Structure 1
Amino acid sequence: MKAALLQMTSGIDPDANARVLSDAVRAAAGQGAVMLFTPEMSGLLDRDRARAARSIVAEADDRVLAAVREAASTAGIWVHLGSLAVREGERLANRGFVIDGTGAVRARYDKLHLFDVDLPTGESWRESASYRAGETAVVVETPIGKLGLSICYDLRFPDLYRALSDAGAEVLAVPAAFTRPTGAAHWHVLLRARAIEAGCFVLAAAQAGKHEDGRATYAHGLAVDPWGEVLLDMGEAAGLGLVELDPALLAEVRGRVPALRHRRPIPAVTRA
C-alpha cells in the first residue's frame, strides 16, 4: 500500500492553503497513493490572534475542509487532513479529519494535549488561551489499516498511543507544526519510540520552513515502520513524499516482540 505525506508551509490565507492541499490530493492520487496525510493546521497558521480570528469559522462553514473533501471525492483518494482550527462557540478546536474517497468525513479528532510553554528562544505559546482540549481518542478503519489519530504535542504522551494500540490501531498519524528547537532535539526519537512501543507504522506530516506569521517550523515529515526504522524523511523542503507500507511487516514485528500481548495493568506505586 502506498501512502503520501504532504510537507507544507501554511500561511495566513486559508484559500491559498486550500489550493495547495487540493493540488496535493490530486498529485497523490496520480502517483498511486491510497491515502494522503497533511500537517497540523493545514488551513491556517497565524499567531496573530486577532487576524486569525477573522478566518476561523465553524466546521460547516470551513472553505478549506470543503475544498479538500471535494478534491478527495474527485480523485477517489482518502485524506487525513492533519488539523484545522475550527470555531465552537467562544472557543476553538484543533481538529483533524479523516475523509474517504467519496468526500465523506469518516472521523474527527480534537487535540487532547495543548501546548503551553515559554521557550529559551523567547518564543511563548499558549494554546489553551484560545483552544479547548479534546476528550476522546479515535481509531478509524482506512485503506491502510486501523488508523489512530493524534496531533503534534500529543506525541509526548505515550499513554495515548498505548490506548490507541490497545484499541487495535495499526498506523498512527502524528501531524505536526513542531518548533525548530524541540524538533531538532526530540522529533525523530519520539516518533521512533512511539512506533516501537505501539508496534505500529507512524506517519507524521509536518509543517516546514519560515511562515508568513514569522514562525519557523522544523519540517522532517517522517514515516516510521513498527521496528522503528525510518522509511521516509522529507528533509526541510515543502513537497509531497510517498512511502510503501507492508502490512506483513506489522505481523512480523509484533510476532518477534509480542509486547502488546504482554501488557498488564500498572499496579499502584509503592513509596519506599
Structure 2
Amino acid sequence: MSVSSIDAAHPRFLSKPILITGGLKVALVQLAVGPDKGKNIAAAVKEIHKAKERGAQLVALPECFNSPYGTKYFNEYAEQVPTGETFRALSKAAADASVCVVGGTVPERCGNQLFNTCTVWNSNGDLIAQHRKMHLFDIDIPGKITFKESEVLSAGNKVTTFDYCGVTIGIGICYDLRFYEMATVMARKGCSLLIYPGAFNMTTGPRHWELMGRARANDLQLWVALVSPARDTTAEYVAWGHTMLVDPWGKVVASLEDKPDTLVECVDLNTVAEVRSQIPIRSQRRTDIYDTVDKTNECSN
C-alpha cells in the first residue's frame, strides 16, 4: 500500500477498535535530577511505584533523568542497553509495579557512539521499544543560550512507535517535538498518543513548550504528553518544567508547575474518535499535491 493511500484505507489509521472503547491512565513524572546517579534512579523507581498506587497503567519519566543535562556529562553517565544500571532498574520497576514504563532518556553508549535514548518496558519488564533522539539540539540564541549536542551525541535514524494495552504510542525526545513531519509519520502509523520526554530551557520553554505540544495535538488529532525534569535554578542547564497533557482538541487538560510532582490522568481514547469523526481532515488531505513519507519503513530502533 502506498503512503498516499493510508488516509483512505489503512486499518491502523482509521479503524483501531481501541479508539471507541476507553482510555489509558498515564502518569507523567516531573523528577528532580541531580549529580548522584544512584539517587536519581532510586527517585525514579519510587515514583513509578507511587504512580501505580494511583492507578497508572503507563508511567513516563523526563529527559536525562539519571544525569545532569549537559554535553560534558553524557560520556560519564552513559550506559549500554539493556545491561546498564539504569536500564536494569527500569525493567525491574516495570515488572514489580506491573506497569509500562517510558523511561525518559538516558545517555546510551553503543560502541564508540553516544545517543540520547528512551527505552520502553512493558509490565513484564521486557524491553519493547528504544528511541534514539533524531534531531540534536544545536542552537545559538545570542545573549540567551548556546548548546550543541552534536559535539558529543550521534543522532538516531528511526521513527519509534509501540503498542501497549491496545494503544499505539509514539516516542519523540525534546527537540524532536519541533519537527512536524516526524509527528505526522507517527500519527500515520496509528498513534493515538505521542510522548515527548524533554528538557526545554528558560528561553525556549516559556515561548514554545506548550505552543508546540498543543499544535501537534490539534493538527494530528491525538493526545500529546510532554514530560520535563523539575526546575533546578542552581543547575548549569535550567529546565522549564511544566509537564503537561494535551488532548486532541489542543486543550491542556492537566499540567504541573516547575517543582517535582507527578501528573496522573486518563487519556480518553473516545476523544480521539470524536475529533477525527467531527473534523475529518484525514480523508480531506490532498495527497495528490503534497505528502509526508517515512523513508525507513520501520517503527522502532
Range class of TM-score, shorter chain: over 0.9
Pairing 1:117–2:126 present: no
Residue 213 of structure 1 and its aligned partner are, at CA, apart by: 4.2
TM-score after normalising by structure 2: 0.84
Write the distance in 2 (CA, Å) between the matches of 1:84 and 1:55: 8
- The verdict on how the C-alpha distance between 1:264 and 1:11 changes in structure 2, with shifts beyond 3 A counting, is farther
Answer yes or no: is the 8 Å Cα contact 1:47–1:213 preserved in 2.
no
Residue 145 of structure 1 and its aligned partner are, at CA, apart by: 1.4
Residue aligning to 2:229: 207
Residue 52 of structure 1 and its aligned partner are, at CA, apart by: 4.5
Write the distance in 2 (CA, Å) between the matches of 1:266 and 1:64: 47
Which residue among 275, 283, 286 is the counterpart of 1:253?
275
RMSD: 1.7
Write the distance in 1 (CA, Å) between the matches of 2:166 and 2:43: 23
The aligned amino acid for 2:81 is: E
Identity of aligned residues (%): 28
Residue 249 of structure 1 and its aligned partner are, at CA, apart by: 0.9
Write the distance in 1 (CA, Å) between the matches of 2:174 and 2:279: 27
Which moved further from structure 2: 57-66 or 247-256?
A: 57-66
Which digits, 9 at most, give the CA deviation of each residue in 1:39-98, with x for residues without a partner?
11122124261x542331222332111111111101101111121111112221111111
Which digits, 9 at most, give the CA deviation of each residue in 1:114-173, with x for residues without a partner?
011122344321111111111110111012711011010011110011111111111001
- The verdict on how the C-alpha distance between 1:26 and 1:144 changes in structure 2, with shifts beyond 3 A counting, is farther
Q: How many residues align?
A: 267
Which residue among 174, 196, 208 is the counterpart of 1:152?
174
Point out where structure 2 has 5 or more consecutive residues left out of the alignment.
1-23, 291-301
Secondary structure in 2 aligned to 1:231? strand
Answer yes or no: is the 8 Å Cα contact 1:178–1:207 preserved in 2.
no
Which residue among 188, 191, 194 is the counterpart of 1:172?
194
Write the distance in 2 (CA, Å) between the matches of 1:126 and 1:20: 28
The aligned amino acid for 1:34 is: Q
Residue aligning to 2:206: 184
- The verdict on how the C-alpha distance between 1:228 and 1:219 changes in structure 2, with shifts beyond 3 A counting, is same
Superposition map of 1:18-37 within 5 A: 18-37=41-60
Which digits, 9 at most, give the CA deviation of each residue in 1:204-234, with x for residues without a partner?
1111211664221100001000001111111
Residue 198 of structure 1 and its aligned partner are, at CA, apart by: 1.0
TM-score after normalising by structure 1: 0.93
Superposition map of 1:1-272 within 5 A: 1-47=24-70, 49=72, 52-143=74-165, 145-210=167-232, 213-265=235-287, 267=289
Point out where structure 1 has 5 or more consecutive residues left out of the alignment.
none
